[in-house]
């Protein structure tokens, strides 16, 4: 039986801006992917156009959030809540995070270039004109479409282990890695069992 004196200390959350950018990116990605998948299930022309434009605008928004995330992380850093991680594990986590950032940026830029190759000139929020990355070219558009899809699969292959690692830290390691990034909820560290 544990005494109240042995209660675990509260976990310090990451800064609000870090958590907002993290979860906003996650939600926007889910909505963007859902829009493009739903678009494939309908033949209604107007709805398909709306869903595609939503997908494009959300992609551009993700790129803006990504720039903000990298800037915030470079300035504020990221508090390490893992329990006694090895140097190798810390390096692996850093490589995984920066790989996701790189693939995410590549995914959006490929989508941007794909639009240009289809002779579509993007406007951020439908208002601010953006430069063309490539000239209109139907053959290039086909190639970029393939690259865009492959990049999406690569991103998924990085996101799934990221989510599983967060759950592993929370339910197996019982540390504060997941809790510190949660937008709300209890900040009490779970009791440690079998900590090495």
How does pLDDT run across 159-173, given as a tens digit for each residue? 998 888 888 877 887
- Burial degree of 18 (CB within 10 A; 0-12, 13-18, 19+): buried
Q: Is the whole model's pTM more than 0.75, yes or no?
A: yes
Q: Return the pLDDT at 7.
A: 43
- CATH fold of the domain at 13-181: Fumarate Reductase Cytochrome B subunit (1.20.950)
Q: What is the pLDDT of residues 108-147, one digit of tens each?
A: 999 999 999 999 999 999 899 999 999 999 999 999 999 9
The residues, ordered by sequence, that sit 6+ positions from 163 with a Cβ below 8 Å of its Cβ are none
Q: Residue 190's pLDDT band (boundaries 50, 70, 90)?
A: very low
Contact 67, 75 (CB under 8 A): no
Instruction: Identify the pLDDT of residue 80.
Output: 61
C-beta neighbour count of 40 within 10 angstroms: 8
- Residue 85: pLDDT band with limits 50, 70, 90: low
């Amino acid at each position: 039986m544990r005494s109240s004196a042995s209660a675990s200390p509260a976990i310090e959350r990451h800064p609000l801006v870090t958590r907002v950018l993290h979860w906003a990116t996650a939600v926007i990605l889910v909505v963007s992917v859902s829009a493009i998948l739903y678009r494939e299930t309908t033949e209604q022309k107007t709805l398909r156009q709306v869903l595609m434009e939503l997908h494009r605008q959300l992609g551009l928004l993700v790129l803006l959030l990504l720039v903000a995330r990298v800037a915030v992380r470079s300035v504020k850093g990221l508090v390490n809540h893992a329990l006694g991680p090895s140097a190798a594990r810390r390096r692996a986590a850093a490589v995984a995070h920066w790989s996701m950032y790189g693939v995410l940026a590549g995914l959006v830029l490929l989508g941007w270039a794909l639009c240009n190759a289809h002779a579509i000139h993007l406007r951020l929020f439908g208002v601010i004109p953006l430069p063309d990355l490539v000239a209109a070219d139907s053959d290039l558009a086909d190639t970029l479409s393939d690259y865009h899809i492959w990049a999406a699969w690569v991103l998924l292959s990085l996101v799934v282990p990221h989510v599983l690692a967060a759950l592993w830290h929370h339910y197996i390691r019982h540390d504060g890695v997941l809790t510190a990034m949660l937008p709300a909820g209890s900040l009490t560290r779970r009791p440690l069992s079998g900590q090495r």
